Amino acid sequence: MTDKLVSQLQSHVPNIDLKLISQGAEALVFETTTHPYSSSPSLRNASQFIIKYRPPKPYRHPKIDAQITKQRTSGEAKFMYKLSKLAIPCPSLISCDFSHGIIWMEHLGKNLPNGNISSLKNWLWYLEKSSDTEARCSGDDVQQLCFEVGKLIGRLHLNDMIHGDLTSSNIILEEQDSVWAPALIDFGLSSFSGLPEDKAVDLYVLERAVDSTHSDFAQSYNAWILQGYEAAHELKRFKKFGKKKHLETIKRLEEVRLRGRKRSMLG
């Protein structure tokens, strides 16, 4: 089945090297060394690029499927474009084919010493498996990075933008001046909303993801993330409304947590 989907993509981007790196229900993600327009691109990581492909869904009517694919692909690209205009770190757009569900973008992240790409999840896992786990996972570097992750999400929400799938896998780390800096990826479920409920759910999804994948240190990680989130709302340019928005979102987050605990108890 996967070979068939790869062949479908190759029919739209012929003679392009493709390496499948991720496959979800909605889309496939490929790595390529080919830039669609230039042999010497000037992006930060110009040797590799990402192609995200939404293949046709055979269970949907072809016309409806084509419309959904076009809407979701263009919506994701518009979200990424607005992020770049706001200087919120995310992959740079290179090329889009909305009708065929293709987004060609910059490849963020580099490999860690264990060979995994430098997502927040993989970096924390790498530290948690080190010989001096307690010291490294409780250190200033981790605290500062979690704080910066919180600030990044705060900036996203202050612009009424919702990620929709905030997990530690969808936060990629870029090395800047020998320090890790977070960037966001995967906006297939993104949306625009000023509602505290939507922002609280975004935070809750990340909180649960950290709880499940980094249980030993999750309490500290999540606390540091929320500290950074609050700090973003205290920036001078958001002074008029930042504190109010933060209080509204955190109050709603407490309600979302309560609903989550009730669902867990009821099974």
Q: CA 87, CA 67: separation in Å to the nearest integer?
A: 30
- What is the chain's alpha carbon radius of gyration, rounded to the nearest angstrom? 19
Is 165 a residue of the active site?
Answer: yes
Rounded-to-integer distance, Cα 86 and Cα 94, Å:
17
- Tell me how long the chain is: 267
The pLDDT of residue 240 is: 81
- Closest by Cα among 123, 153, 116, 137 to 218: 137
Query: Quick check: 117 and 105 in contact, CB under 8 A?
Result: no
Residues 6+ apart with CB under 8 A from 62: 56
What is the pLDDT at residue 264?
59
User: Which residue in 3, 140, 165, 202 is the catalytic one?
Assistant: 165
Strand order of the sheet with strand 102-106? 19-23, 28-32, 49-53, 102-106, 93-97
Q: Which domains does the chain have, with CATH numbers?
A: 2-106 (3.30.200.20), 120-266 (1.10.510.10)
pLDDT of the residue at 263: 65
Q: How big is the CA angle at 21 (ends 15 and 26), to the nearest 5 degrees?
A: 95
CB proximity list for 99: less than 8 A, separation 6 or greater: 66, 69, 70
For residue 107, the SS3 value is coil
pLDDT of residue 91: 95
Nearest to 202 by CA among 237, 252, 241, 244: 252
Report the chain (267 residues): mean pLDDT per 10 consecutive residues: 85 91 90 83 68 93 95 97 96 95 91 76 88 81 96 97 96 87 96 97 97 93 97 87 95 93 59
Global confidence as pTM: 0.91
